[in-house]
């Protein structure tokens, strides 16, 4: 050490050394002084902390025999060393090679692939391009087996290619489980739940989400736990189990807000808005969808924002604002097509069919519903296709073609019954009751409208029960004490 006396005096002057008799004692460095003399950035300090903690963890895990944990630490140390600001690429190369060897002991292909990718990137920085290309190709071949397979499955789901998506996600899930990668397997379960939901297999979808949620709880992954709860709530809503759906969605929304996950919050707000619409709280539903759309747009989620546009278009239609509704729905179709989501485009088309009915443009409405039904069927979206059949029936009823309308309603009712969709069943019964009234089949009308009323009341769907009553009253003006009214009052009390 040079200039010992000078250095000691300097340390004494800043109280880093104290004199104790004939000895000098060293104190812990004063952080502010050191940072003033040797300024560093917070990022550098964080990286340095991770590096030394990683070294310590690596040695500790080796000592206790956790070679898998040690391999993971080796890989992470290599990733830190390869950061551009550290310029320690040769050391990083050694660490990546060590990590690869450690992962090979366990045949952990994900770890091997990640280390190979790291080696390839370091060699690229070192301008060893041929070696870099070889390592990256080798890593790619391993990644494609399961990591990319899962991602491809998620993309196919968005594109509505449900059988292909299901196949890819099941393959990826099996690979992740084989490797003991719980996080990857849980993500695949969520994707499979999305496929099942789109195929109207809501109970099976909920079971997958519960399974994924349990995995995330083991991993203490709070975002995943909250997102699973929200998706379960959305599926419960699709089954018209609103008393169960709303608490799930509100709980998930609160948790995601605490985490700061804006996208997840927007998904929950969107789902809650859809339930509010079904319950005929239209003003509140509009506010919820506008909030969700703004949240999606703030994080650049065009698909989420487009879904809100679809719901808002329907809400504006129901509020008697046809021009706003048409503009919103046409904008939604354009957005869905731009992001490659045929399901969203089909939904907007079906909503335009309902809008045309309110404008008494029945011929155009029938064409629109038929086109939307074909779009739904092309992507395997069963529920959408059934609701289009019901929409066609409603259009035929409004245009005075009652027998044809009844046939469509019967078809829709049978299909809704298969999936246990009570909201759809209630709507089909309502239309069948209206047709029966027009055909003067009062006994059938009484039964069908009574069943519809009871289901709507049980689901707490506002306005619809009154619509069932009005369907009778408008055909029998002045008859306030009919048997039909007594039956409806009895059903309402029950």
Chain segment 183-230, per-residue pLDDT in tens? 888 989 999 999 998 887 889 999 999 999 999 898 888 888 999 999
What is the domain extent for residue 15? 4-37
Q: Does residue 240 form part of some domain?
A: no
Same domain, yes or no, for 393 and 487? Answer: yes
More confident: 375 or 123: 375
Q: What is the mean pLDDT of residues 461-478?
A: 68
Answer whether residue 426 is part of any domain.
Answer: yes
Judge whether 375 and 160 are in contact, CB under 8 Å.
no
Mean pLDDT of the chain: 80
Residue 84 CB coordination number (10 Å): 7
Q: Is the pLDDT of residue 66 over 80?
A: no
Q: Which residues contact 335 (CB under 8 A, 6 or more apart)?
A: 302, 303, 305, 306, 309, 344
Does 61 lie in the same domain as 20?
A: no
Are 15 and 48 members of one domain? no
Q: Give the helix/strand (H/E) hosting 19.
A: strand 17-20
Domain boundary residue, one of 101, 127, 153: 127
Whole-number pLDDT of residue 482: 42
What is the structure's pLDDT at 52? 55
Same-domain check for residues 422 and 402: yes
- The CA angle 169-175-178, to the nearest 5 degrees, is 140
Local confidence band at 181 (pLDDT 50, 70, 90 cut-offs): confident
pLDDT in tens, 71-89: 777 777 777 777 644 457 7
Same domain? 29 vs 69: no
- Inside any domain, residue 405: yes
Question: How many domains does the chain fold into?
Answer: 3
Whether residues 29 and 123 share a domain: the answer is: no
Task: Provide the CATH number for the domain around residue 411.
Answer: 1.25.40.10
Does residue 66 sit in the same domain as residue 16?
no
13: in domain: yes
33 and 48 together in one domain: no
**Residue 310, domain member (yes or no):** no
Residues 459 and 395 in one domain: yes
23 and 77 fall within a common domain = no
Q: Are 260 and 222 in contact (CB under 8 A)?
A: no
Assigned domain for 323 exists: no
With respect to residue 407, please indicate whether it lies within any of the assigned structural domains. Answer: yes
The reply to whether 47 falls in a domain is: yes
Query: Which stretch of 21-35, 193-207, 383-397, 446-460 has the lowest confidence by average pLDDT?
Result: 21-35
**Are 439 and 491 found together in one domain?**
yes
State the pairing for strand pair 23-26/17-20: antiparallel
Q: What share of the chain is helix, strand, coil (3-state, %, to 5)?
A: 80, 0, 20
pTM here is 0.60
Co-location of 67 and 83 in the same domain = yes
**How do residues 370-385 score in pLDDT, each as one tens digit?**
999 999 998 888 889 9
């Amino acid at each position: 050490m040079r200039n010992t006396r000078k250095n000691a005096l300097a340390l004494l002057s800043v109280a880093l050394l104290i004199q104790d008799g004939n000895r000098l004692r060293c104190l812990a460095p004063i952080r502010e002084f050191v940072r003033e003399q040797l300024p560093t950035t917070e990022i550098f300090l964080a990286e340095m902390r991770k590096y030394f903690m990683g070294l310590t963890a690596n040695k500790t895990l080796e000592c206790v025999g956790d070679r898998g944990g040690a391999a993971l630490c080796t890989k992470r140390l290599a990733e830190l060393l390869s950061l551009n600001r550290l310029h320690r690429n040769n050391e990083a190369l050694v660490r990546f090679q060590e990590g690869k060897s450690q992962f090979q002991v366990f045949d952990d292909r994900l770890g091997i692939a990640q280390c190979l990718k790291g080696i390839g990137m370091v060699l690229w920085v070192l301008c060893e391009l041929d070696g870099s290309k070889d390592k990256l190709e080798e890593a790619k071949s391993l990644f494609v087996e399961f990591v990319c397979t899962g991602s491809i499955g998620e993309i196919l789901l968005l594109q509505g290619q449900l059988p292909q998506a299901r196949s890819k996600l099941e393959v990826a899930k099996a690979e992740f489980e084989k490797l003991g990668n719980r996080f990857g397997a849980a993500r695949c379960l969520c994707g499979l739940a999305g496929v099942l939901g789109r195929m109207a297999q809501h109970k099976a979808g909920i079971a997958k989400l519960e399974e994924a949620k349990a995995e995330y709880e083991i991993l203490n992954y709070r975002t995943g736990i909250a997102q699973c709860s929200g998706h379960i709530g959305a599926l419960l809503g699709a089954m018209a189990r609103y008393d169960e759906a709303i608490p799930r969605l509100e709980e998930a929304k609160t948790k995601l807000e605490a985490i700061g996950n804006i996208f997840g919050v927007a998904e929950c707000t969107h789902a809650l808005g859809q339930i509010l619409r079904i319950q005929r709280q239209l003003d509140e539903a509009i506010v919820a969808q506008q909030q969700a759309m703004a949240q999606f747009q703030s994080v650049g989620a065009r698909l989420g924002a487009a879904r809100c546009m679809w719901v808002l278009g329907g809400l504006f239609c129901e509020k008697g604002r046809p021009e706003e509704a048409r503009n919103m729905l046409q904008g939604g179709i354009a957005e869905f097509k731009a992001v490659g989501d045929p399901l969203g485009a089909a939904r907007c088309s079906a909503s335009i069919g309902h809008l045309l009915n309110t404008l008494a443009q029945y011929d155009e409405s029938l064409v629109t519903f038929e086109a939307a039904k074909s779009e739904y069927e092309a992507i395997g979206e069963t529920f959408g296709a059934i609701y289009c059949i019901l929409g066609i029936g409603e259009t035929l009823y409004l245009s005075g073609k009652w027998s044809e309308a009844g046939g469509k309603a019967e078809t829709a009712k049978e299909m809704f019954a298969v999936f246990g969709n009570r909201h759809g069943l209630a709507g089909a019964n309502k239309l069948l009751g209206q047709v029966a009234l027009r055909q003067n089949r009062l006994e059938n009308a009484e039964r069908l409208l009574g069943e519809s009323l009871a289901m709507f009341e049980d689901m707490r769907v506002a306005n619809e029960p009154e619509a069932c009553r009005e369907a009778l009253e408008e055909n029998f003006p002045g008859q306030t004490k009919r048997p039909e009214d007594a039956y409806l009052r009895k059903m309402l009390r029950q």
